[in-house]
Structure formats: structure tokens, C-alpha cells
Amino acid sequence: MAQKKSMSLVDRYLVAYNAASFVGWTYVLLQTVLYLVQHGTDLSGLFDKVGYAVIYVQTGAFLEVVHSLIGFVRSSPLTVLMQVYSRLLLVWGTLYMFDVPEVRASYGLALMLLAWSITECVRYSHYALSLMGIESSVLLYLRYTMFYVLYPAGVTGELLEMWAALPYAAAIRPSFKGFLMLNMVNYPPVLYKLYTHMIRQRRKVLGGEVKSKKPAVSATAATKKKL
């Protein structure tokens, strides 16, 4: 029986990164759910409860651009940057910048936080376990199924947040409002591209295209592939 190959230093780092991200998003998810259970539709204190945590946790995802640039993962740096960019715009360009109830106490914020945190808890835990050689069929199924609901929900929340920020962006500078509006217009084609990509990935992973007769892909290699 062949001895199991030990993990490289890069893999150990990626496990730590994914595990830390999972912990951060789990905190965001639990705090958001607890707040909604306790306060219902009164969202006036939601940002104070979890706002800065989500800003910092989401900002940490910029490391994924660095990972792709230096070859830790095989993803395209431009593709990763495009995926991270919109969220950084939301957390720094709206949530952090505008301390007003329309932005920080909106239904869009609650919807966005739930969609983001659920998605990321599944994604990061799946990646961390895969790197350690632990395969979870439940996480795999959730990873390639929940996007049907969570992608539209997250995008809806993001658009509502940017819409709420438009008047305040215009007060700072009209060009800032135009910049946010340009990003909003760009959402439908980007969502379509990501949605159809995930559907193809789901068919490949869960639809039986990869049969057991072929050599199994290592956990590390599978994790390093693009989503």
C-alpha cells in the first residue's frame, strides 16, 4: 500500500487560509441569523452587529488574487479579480462609506449577508477539506447546487445596496454616482456568465461526466482548479 504523500508548505498555507476564511464567514452568518431572529425586520442595528466583520473578512479575499498571481492556485488572476472586485466595491464603496439607514439598515444588506456567508461557508470548508484529502459528498453537492438560489439572492441584495447608495454618492461627486450605476448595468451579463459557468461545472462534477474509470484527481489539484 502506497504511503500517503505529505502536504506541501503551500498546501498547508492554503488550508490555513481557507479554514480562517470559513471561521470568519461562519461568524458573520451566525451573527446575522441571531440578529434577525432577535429583531426581525428591525435592521437598524444589523451593521453595528456584523458590518465591520464582513468588511474585514471580505477584504481578506483579495489574497485570492495574490494566490493566483504567484501560482498558488491555477485560477486566472483577472477572473479572480473580477469576482472579488464587486464585493470590495460593496463593502468599501457603500457600507463603509455611507453611515445612513438606507444603506446600513436595508433589506438588501440582510439578503446580501445571508447569501454571501452561506456561499462562503460551504466553499471554504469544501476547499480546506479537499486539500487535506477529505471528500464530503454533502459539501460537494451543496457547493454545486445552492448557487441556483444564492447567486440571484446575493446579486439582488448587492443591487439594492448600490441603488440605496446612489443619492449619497451623488452628494459626494456626480461621477461617483455614475460609477456605481455603471457597475449596476454590468451586473446582468456578469451574472449570466457566472450562472452558466456554474451550471456547466455542476454537470461536470455531479452529472456523471467524470467516471470512476478515469484516474482520480488529487484533492490538491481539484481544489486549485477554477470554480
User: What backbone torsions phi and psi does residue 135 show, to the nearest 5 degrees?
Assistant: -100, 125
Residues classed as catalytic: 151, 158
Which grid cell is 211? 467516471
Kindly list the domain boundaries of the chain, sorted by start residue.
9-206+220-224
- Return the ∠ at Cα 133 (arms to 9 and 67), rounded to 5°: 40
The pLDDT score that the predictor gives to residue 208 is 53
Compute mean pLDDT per 10 residues along the chain, 227 residues long, and list them.
Answer: 66 96 98 97 95 96 95 86 90 96 95 97 95 92 93 94 96 94 91 84 75 39 43
The pLDDT score that the predictor gives to residue 225 is 44
The pLDDT score that the predictor gives to residue 217 is 40
Which grid cell is 78? 483577472
Which grid cell is 111? 439578503
The pLDDT score that the predictor gives to residue 196 is 86
The pLDDT score that the predictor gives to residue 149 is 94
pTM here?
0.85
Q: How many CB atoms lie within 10 A of CB 97?
A: 15
Q: Which residues contact 28 (CB under 8 A, 6 or more apart)?
A: 50, 53, 54, 57, 113, 116, 117
The pLDDT score that the predictor gives to residue 193 is 81
